[in-house]
Chain A
Amino acid sequence: MMQYRSRFIVALLLSGIGACSTLNYQQPITQFSQGVSDLNAAFNALKVTRDNAAINNLANSLKLQGTFLSLPTDCPITDNPPREAKPGDCSWSIHYPGGNKVAANVKNHEAQSLAFISALNAYGQGLVVISSAQDVAALKAAVAKAGSAISTVSSVAMPGSGTAVNIITTGFAWLFGEIADAERLKTLAAIVEQADPVIQKETSLLQKSAEHLQAEILNDQQYIIYSEMAQVTLLSKSNGSYSDINTAAQNVVNDAIAYDKTASNGIGGALVKMKSSHADLLKSLKKPDINFEDAISTASDFAAQASTLMTIEKGN
């Protein structure tokens, strides 16, 4: 908490030093980009958590029924650390007594959302490079990258819309060091302005997807806890050893803690802050003669919350 407060204070101090300095607009852009990067990582981690919870839950239930689960050796979610499973590359089989077998799979309802947040991440990185490009070639490359990322965001969010983002790059013949900052700000404003409606409107896609993932994880975790609690009762009733009962009870406690972490996941809140941060960034870029105080404040707030998400996901 102190760390975020410190970041905020630093942000406020910087906002007061030279309202139009390069640092001033770099700061909210860097923080926005960092926040999106953390969100992207948190979203992917949430999906891996869901896949693992689904497999653990199923394996647990099958064991209780005398059946077993077989996973292919190359199943990515059994890797340590687990990596993202793509549709179809991690199917498993449920083996029933008597040799019956049912193929199951990890469903990837989140493909669209993951593509969306990944493109937003690329967009954020593009803005950072634009804000710090040292020559025309680097700037052009960064503008192309950010423009392409926003086109991707747009087409992922609205398939078939054919929305294309065209950033005018013909004005880059100017020399760095002369009107560089003014031109850079204009370029940033043009890109952020084109991206903002998509981000404001389509972030709800990510919110729905995060809620869906969260509900699925909670459901699996709930079933795991039910059966673990029953194990504790069974062991107690059958005079199981203290050690066995203790281990079983500890499993319940650990999974109850994991359940609470999932339930308090704040991705939805961070996404709302991402929208405000981007809107304030646009406002500041369009009126750079005023200052970036609001943009810095909201970007700092967003980055802090997104950073917390990763702490929750890693269980630290």
Chain B
Amino acid sequence: MLSPDTIKSFQTQISKAEANLDVIDKKIQESIEKAQQAGDVDNVMKLSALGSELKALKNSLPTQDIVGDDAELERAAETLGKINTQMDSIMSKNNKTAALISNVSDLITNISGFISPTNPTDTEDSTDTADTTVPENSTQA
């Protein structure tokens, strides 16, 4: 029997993740528009692909069908908490295009690892390096 506190904690993280993903989606679209204006087709393609994939993964986040025991759910909430921290980091910075692409790629790896734990990518390890933001002045849009 799952405790209400554990369920609540998990659902809070899921809601936060969904809201964060919406903000990141807007950031990606803004970057696509900038890249379009700059004629940077390569980055438009990359960002479109990442944006689409992120959206699909958002649709695959668990919602009400919670299964498992308390310990399992606590681990899931903790992992999701780390992913949310990673997203906070992406949202708080004014990423250049290349940095955004790099950070969103890492984020996708972690979210897909969270959704499908059998994926060889180890979610727990990869979320430990949550702040994967490339320095802002390292690349140009």
Point out residues on A near B: beta carbons under 8 Å.
Answer: 54, 57-58, 60-62, 64-65, 94, 98, 100-107, 109, 219-220, 222-223, 226-227, 229-230, 233-234, 237
Contacts and interface: CB of A to CB of B under 8 A. Distances in A.
A102 B55 contact: no
Contacts, number: 92
Nearest to B58: A107
B116 A61 contact: no
Interface in B50-78: 50-53, 55-57, 59-60, 63
Given A103-B60, A234-B41, A61 B52 contact: yes
Contacts of A102: 57, 60, 112, 115-116, 119
Interface size class of B (residues with CB under 8 A): 20 to 34
What's the dominant secondary structure at chain B's contact region? helix
Contacts of A60: 52
Contacts of A230: 36, 41, 44-45, 48
Contact of A229 (B44, B57, B63): B44
Interface secondary structure of A, over-half rule: helix
A64 B41 CA distance: 13
26 contacts: A54-B56, A54-B59, A58-B55, A61-B50, A61-B51, A61-B56, A62-B49, A62-B53, A64-B49, A65-B49, A98-B120, A100-B119, A103-B60, A104-B56, A104-B57, A104-B115, A109-B63, A219-B25, A222-B29, A223-B55, A226-B36, A226-B48, A227-B44, A227-B45, A229-B36, A233-B41
